[in-house]
Structure 1
């Protein structure tokens, strides 16, 4: 029996979910599906309305049907844990990065062997993003370098190394040539993929920047900070058109904020942001005011390291101890976020 399955049986089937102002009502029974991974899950992204892709410490890349509760396909090729996954919307191509210093390309429906390999970094690859036209792959590493690859040939087209730029995450702005990356040197940098040069850098924060995300309007960027005891631990909203100052901060987590994402705009709920933290909580925020709208605490799940918004108010969450979690957002009679399944 795998380590994850042993841990899951020891945990309660009920989690606490409460507002900042107090404890909410008890949640309903959480459905347990077949686990996607046998160890900690490090990242998750949405692939289709009912599918997600995740990467874990078990060195696997897994495509999972989170509505049906079943594993669709698993890919094995990395020799160390998977740190990031990415995909090209509308395509069957998947990409993964790893502590083994490589990035690999996979194709759904084919044998579980990589169809392309990208080698060239000297340390763990933490950043991974595909260009909107599907021809280029961007990777970033703790070796202080950002690389641009030709997907078809696997050739490294550009490499730029900047002192102390230990890359933690990479996002490609949809429909454009701009790339945003976060770093352990507390800086958010903006790159032009045509020149492979930095065009802007936001003012340095006090703590390591762990993650970034691009808004649907392509103008705003989120970044999250590490920290402890409530110091740092925030997410920050930036405007790509005004890189000199931050727009708003989202404060309330007590430990490192590992991930922050924009939620799909809703005519009823407005613009919201979600964040997950090592303090075992997921928070919903008003994007414009920074007010915390709801807090879901998942005791025993361990650090919550990755979030992926999906359709119909669903939010997928990856955790170190609890595998993957399906969270459901609802607004009636009041705003609520609850866990409905884990896998």
Structure 2
């Protein structure tokens, strides 16, 4: 009878272990987050939510510093692993990897309604890529003496402007890859970005460096709204005209949030130092609530 007793004693432990393993898997699919919601009556409520949470295969093996939307399904990202990745953020699949830079990727800019995009790096180079072309860059733009910190494509997609810590701005012809114009600028240059009615609005609420700001689709709200991400691990939604903070989402443990991109009319992509790329959804039916639904 001794072997039977030993077997009976061990059986509950096995059942308990299986139960714990099952609960562990379930908890990995749930996300607990705390966020603050600014009600119309100016009362700030703190809420805790638990939602289904997807963890896709990571796009990068190190810190992700920048993301841009190529179209309504695909995003392009880059970071410390020196790799540019085209990723389907709806299915969680890597579409293509592009390698050519020798140091961290700092910026990405996509050509409007095109499969082509640019990446900038600490290696002082800007490279042009084609999603459906070779894995080698179509163009390599060399014109800066220090890290390239800014990329901007003209509205007609014919010109690219790059900025660097070498205090220069360079204008490039997208078709030929040739330098069109170069200008030296002061490191302390002040730009006056005037809104309508000659009124400059201030958005106050982040506690650390604000790393990214994007305009959100007008379909989300009656008023124009913007979203910001910061090194304080928070994403905020603001009334563009008044500067009122409408919603704050805390991505605790993700590290500095470095870049934002609009995925579609209700989706935001946000990069972080520690957890890769976050997929956020705006629920305008309940007051512009922002939820984290996936990470990759």
Same fold (TM over 0.5): yes
Cα drift, residue 88 of structure 1: 0.8
TM-score, length of structure 1 as denominator length: 0.73
Which residue does 1:283 correspond to in 2? 236
Contact 1:17 1:27 in 2 (8 A): no
CA distance, structure 1, for counterparts of residue 147 and residue 117 of structure 2: 19
Per the alignment, in what secondary structure is the counterpart of residue 250 of structure 1? coil
Contact 2:123 2:147 in 1 (8 A): yes
Name which of 154, 158, 165 aligns with 1:131: 154
Provide Cα deviations, 1:284-339, integer angstroms capped at 9, x if missing partner.
Answer: 11111111111000111000111112213111101111100000001233331010
Name which of 65, 69, 77 aligns with 1:54: 77
| Matched length | 264
Per the alignment, in what secondary structure is the counterpart of residue 120 of structure 2? strand
Q: How does 1:1-343 map to 2 (within 5 A)?
A: 13-19=31-37, 21-164=44-187, 185=188, 187-188=190-191, 202=192, 238-239=194-195, 242=198, 246-266=199-219, 268-343=221-296
The change in CA–CA distance for 1:146 and 1:35 in structure 2 (over 3 A counts) is same
CA distance, structure 1, for counterparts of residue 83 and residue 153 of structure 2: 20
Q: Which runs of 4+ in 1 moved over 6 A?
A: none
CA distance, structure 2, for counterparts of residue 158 and residue 83 of structure 1: 22
Contact 1:258 1:305 in 2 (8 A): yes
CA distance, structure 1, for counterparts of residue 196 and residue 95 of structure 2: 38
- Root-mean-square deviation (CA, aligned residues, Å) is 2.0
Contact 1:17 1:338 in 2 (8 A): no
Structure number with greater Rg is 2
Provide Cα deviations, 1:233-252, integer angstroms capped at 9, x if missing partner.
Answer: xxxxx32885xxx5211101
CA distance, structure 2, for counterparts of residue 240 and residue 268 of structure 1: 19
Contact 2:31 2:51 in 1 (8 A): no
Range that drifts further, 33-42 or 20-29? 20-29
CA distance, structure 2, for counterparts of residue 158 and residue 53 of structure 1: 28
Contact 1:44 1:85 in 2 (8 A): yes
CA distance, structure 1, for counterparts of residue 138 and residue 183 of structure 2: 26
Structure 1 unaligned blocks of 5 or more: 1-9, 165-184, 189-201, 203-220, 222-237
The change in CA–CA distance for 1:267 and 1:258 in structure 2 (over 3 A counts) is closer
Contact 1:76 1:112 in 2 (8 A): yes
Contact 2:253 2:274 in 1 (8 A): yes
Structure with a larger share of its residues in helix: 2
Structure 2 unaligned blocks of 5 or more: 1-27, 39-43
CA distance, structure 1, for counterparts of residue 276 and residue 32 of structure 2: 15
CA distance, structure 1, for counterparts of residue 264 and residue 285 of structure 2: 18
The change in CA–CA distance for 1:57 and 1:80 in structure 2 (over 3 A counts) is same
CA distance, structure 2, for counterparts of residue 109 and residue 266 of structure 1: 32
Structure with a larger share of its residues in strand: 1
